[in-house]
Amino acid sequence: MIEPEVLSSCAKALVNYGIKEGLAEELDRWVLTNSIIGSLELPDPVDGEPIKDEMEAIALLHRYAQETGHHWGELPEEKFVGRVMGLLTPSNGAMARDFWAIMGDKGPVEATQWLYRISAATKDVRLDLASKDLRWTVSTSYGDLQMTINRSKPEKDPKDIAAPKTGKSYPKCLLCPENAGFWAKPGHPERSNHRIMPISLDGEEWFLQYSPYVYYHQHCIVFSKEHRPMAVGTRTVPRILDFLDQFPHFFLGSNAALPIVGGSILDHDHFQGGNWSFPIQSASVRRSWTEGSITAEALVWPMATLRIRSKNRQEIERIATSAIEGWKSYDDPEWEIEKEHNSVSVIGRKVKDSYEIDMVLRNNRTSEEHPDGIFHIRPSRHHIKKENIGLIEAMGLAVLPGRLSREMEPLLNALSGENPSTPESWPHREWAESLLERHGRANSIEKSKEIVEQEIGYVFMDALRDCSVYPEETGTEGLDRFIDTIIS
């Protein structure tokens, strides 16, 4: 059993941490101490030196809860961290007041930096877990694609994403505002330490939060107050432009609002954004069109993409919305495109004093030959990436499952000659054998790692190509025909 002085040191360490990180003031010390003691039913405090690391203190308190049969001890480690940090997290109202005060006094860059720092300090954003993710870039004909192996988030099956939700629950989904301060239950994450900032988009109440899964710097989610399905339509671009006017240093994008080609959450209207430059931003231009203050560009990109640029907000809103609605009513039998299956991944950003809207054309038709989707990742690549190609991947950042970091070990061993054979039932065997034929089995450890990273990047590039409604090699005329219907 953990000694009382150690438990007191844990409580003191957490209170010191909260005050140091700006989550509380010195006058809150007794309140926070009593909250920790009461919540975990700790013995009365005794003098002792505080533990220096807050995560070590939380781990010891978790062990104590398990040893004493406290119901918090039943929580897995990640949920326990959120539950305890919720005791230190300021109220949503206080954080919103501070956020908007900083917005008014110092501007959006400082306000979003402050919110990110606080979200990381409360462990709502797990930068400690994100630091374990693997990251690299791969040079391709489209530029440098960004690769990540995310070790903190489980891989989702597209069939699970598309499956209808049954029964009533509270909160209704992972994005509902009711998640703020929510105590975990089976099948739902801990959100005691989760806070959301109110914003207005196109005259409607929305909220801004940071994503617990850090795919890139200041990865944020912007979601509607109302629980309603994802929608890409006439209000999408006005909402994006409203956001960019308030937070011009961020991008904001919407997934296509259909299964297979959409993101992993389709039942709550939302955007993703943040302070990050994606490979698509540097894509070269294959062809340009102009109409007044508008420039439209067909990009050299693995997925069929139209970019619209203008300094005139009203004009870009009009043309971009026309393009979205036009694609949703567009048939192209030559390429198996039927309008009822069409949607768009929409990305907005500000570049100096101009607006840019990228539209990645999507279609979720299936066929007997391609039951998972005609414009979906081919099964031969599922060993690397099975999840839908959503907004983030469409911009050139691969979010790959954590399993890959361990599943690549046999290939690394084979490439370096440590163990030249590969397992019979290994899902990567066919792909690995082709790599071994090309690269041999006498590479250094460093070279083997470089080969594997590069080849994974090429699989991701091909996965993006699989999802293009107009293949780059043969479909450019089809894309141009569609653009011609939008801009003369």
At 383-436, the pLDDT tens digits run 999 888 999 999 999 999 999 999 999 999 999 998 877 777 788 999 999 999
For 28-86, how does the pLDDT look when each residue is reduced to its tens digit (9 = 90+)? 999 999 999 999 999 999 988 878 899 999 999 999 999 999 999 999 999 999 999 99
* Residues 410, 272 share a domain: yes
For 9-32, how does the pLDDT look when each residue is reduced to its tens digit (9 = 90+)? 999 999 999 999 999 999 999 999
- End-to-end Cα spacing for the chain: 77
Note whether 276 and 182 are within 8 A (CB).
no
When mean pLDDT is compared across 22-31, 350-359, 479-488, the lowest value belongs to: 479-488
pLDDT score of 346 more than 90? yes
pLDDT of residue 159: 55
- 307 lies in some domain: yes
pLDDT of residue 421: 77
Q: For residue 416, give every residue at least 6 positions away whose Cβ sits within 8 Å of its Cβ, in sequence order, or none.
A: 441, 442, 443, 444, 445, 447, 448
pLDDT of residue 160: 44
* Residues 11, 157 share a domain: no
* Residues 370, 244 share a domain: yes
> What average pLDDT does this structure show over 439-449?
95
Pairing verdict, β 397-401 and 143-150: parallel
> What average pLDDT does this structure show over 234-248?
99
- 359 lies in some domain: yes
pLDDT score of 344 more than 70? yes
* Residues 478, 364 share a domain: yes
Q: Is the peptide bond before 420 cis (omega within 30 degrees of 0)?
A: no
Whole-angstrom Cα distance, residue 264 to residue 268?
10
Q: What is the DSSP letter of 124?
A: S
Give exposure, 55-78, as e/b (b: 16+ Cβ within 10 Å). eebbbbbbebbeeeebebbebeeb
> What average pLDDT does this structure show over 436-450?
95
Percent of the chain with pLDDT over 70: 97
3-class SS of residue 358: strand
pLDDT of residue 422: 79
Which residue in 218, 220, 356 sits closest to 280, CA to CA? Answer: 356
Top-confidence residue, 150 or 109: 109
- 440 lies in some domain: yes
pLDDT of residue 165: 56
- 58 lies in some domain: yes
- 158 lies in some domain: yes
Note whether 468 and 460 are within 8 A (CB).
no
- DSSP of 255-315, one letter per residue? -BSSTTTB-S--SS-EEEEES---GGGG--EEEEEEETTEEEEEE-SSS-EEEEEES-HHH
Which residue in 56, 134, 199, 25 sits closest to 403, CA to CA? Answer: 134
- 127 lies in some domain: no
Nearest 5 degrees, angle CA 33-CA 11-CA 15? 65
* Residues 155, 74 share a domain: no
- 162 lies in some domain: yes
> What average pLDDT does this structure show over 339-363?
98
pLDDT score of 151 more than 90? no
* Residues 409, 326 share a domain: yes
**Residue that the structure tokens 């070590």 belong to:** 56
Residue ending a domain, among 53, 88, 123, is 88
> What average pLDDT does this structure show over 131-145?
96
pLDDT of residue 420: 74
* Residues 353, 288 share a domain: yes
Total domains present in the chain: 2
* Residues 166, 76 share a domain: no
Residue ending a domain, among 54, 88, 122, is 88
89, 125, 359 from 122: Cα distances, Å: 6, 8, 36
Whole-angstrom Cα distance, residue 194 to residue 208?
11
* Residues 142, 57 share a domain: no
pLDDT score of 161 more than 70? no
| Long-range CB pairs of 164-171, under 8 A, 24+ apart, other chains included | 165/267
Whole-angstrom Cα distance, residue 428 to residue 424?
10
Note whether 404 and 384 are within 8 A (CB).
yes
- DSSP of 441-480, one letter per residue? S---HHHHHHHHHHHHHHHHHHHHHHT-SS-TTT-HHHHH
Query: pTM of the full predicted structure?
Result: 0.94
> What average pLDDT does this structure show over 248-274?
95
Burial zone of 353 (CB within 10 Å; 0-12 exposed, 13-18 middle, 19+ buried): exposed
Domain span at residue 324? 132-170+229-488
* Residues 84, 138 share a domain: no
Residue ending a domain, among 88, 108, 141, is 88
* Residues 152, 83 share a domain: no
400's enclosing H/E stretch is strand 397-401
Note whether 308 and 319 are within 8 A (CB).
yes
The mean of the pLDDT values for the chain is 94
For 103-125, how does the pLDDT look when each residue is reduced to its tens digit (9 = 90+)? 999 999 999 999 999 999 999 99
Top-confidence residue, 130 or 355: 355
* Residues 157, 77 share a domain: no
pLDDT of residue 72: 97
- 182 lies in some domain: no
